[in-house]
Structure 1
């Protein structure tokens, strides 16, 4: 019975981490694998509850985009200039650099914190749980200070 409980808890912890990584990869791929993608600077002109938009200036002149939108959580406010990578085939951008990289992995950081609770409480592996929680905390704190 103990082995079945441990296997179930390990499966839940693994599922949490995989789901966090999968959720993060949708944005992180554009930041981490940005070679060959369109780069530039977005000057924020206005925001609503979810998105900010603004004037886009490409790093290399031939571009079909003049305005782009970006998630409100990575654009601090009106008038701010943000380095961005354009998502291919869309009018949406993601923040580039360290700040964008940290922000892209926020779902994984949260998943690591949740998995640490399962590892510590369900599997009784406290040292491993503290290590996993520390990794998640570093990701979330890094994002807080980078943005």
Structure 2
């Protein structure tokens, strides 16, 4: 019995799909667009939250011209804060018996570090490259989290790689500076 060959004829007119199939394809496309939009909103929310959190400290570390600047000598650390006396620069400010700084940004006990004091508090923020980089650590973390959302939810893998590498570089630079 001879084998039949598959037909090599091309259809001359397009195949008409049923209304139900067309609606199903439209609904699926709408779900894909909605998922991409929602994941984009989540990634944007993560990035905005990271910038917002970082700016609370970064503004004092970066914009120090109008702030009270000086040096702090680290005398002791407890939990996540280190304390010590504060001596202002020549311009203005007052000596303080005790100010506190984040332990992650503080040098070893007995060392001096340049700081600026947050107005109306006894909390100090490290200035210079180390202080600025330390202030932006929450943003670096939000970049890493947003990269996961962008890769998984939006399927934008190259963009996610760039975001993740930027977050990693920022964290690495902070670690190296402190």
For structure 1, the 5+ residue unaligned runs are: none
- Report how far residue 76 of structure 1 moved: 2.7
Match of 1:73 among 70, 95, 104: 104
CA separation in 2, counterparts of 1:61 and 1:104?
25
Taking structure 2 as the reference length, the TM-score comes to 0.79
Taking structure 1 as the reference length, the TM-score comes to 0.96
With 108-117 and 132-141 compared, the bigger mean Cα shift is at: 132-141
Alignment of 1:100-111 (within 5 A): 100-111=131-142
Instruction: Please tell me whether Structure 1 or Structure 2 has the larger radius of gyration of its CA atoms.
Output: 2
SS in 1 for 2:142: helix
Match of 1:57 among 65, 84, 87: 87
CA separation in 1, counterparts of 2:46 and 2:92?
42
Equivalent position of 1:115 in the other structure:
146
| Structure number with higher relative contact order (C-alpha < 8 Å, ≥ 6 residues apart) | 1
CA contact (8 A) 1:65 1:91 kept: no
For structure 2, the 5+ residue unaligned runs are: 1-30
Deviations 1:35-76 (A, max 9, x none): 111111101011101211112111126423323111111113
Aligned residues: 147
CA separation in 2, counterparts of 1:2 and 1:62?
59
Q: Root-mean-square deviation (CA), in Å?
A: 1.1
Moved segments of 4+, more than 3 Å: none
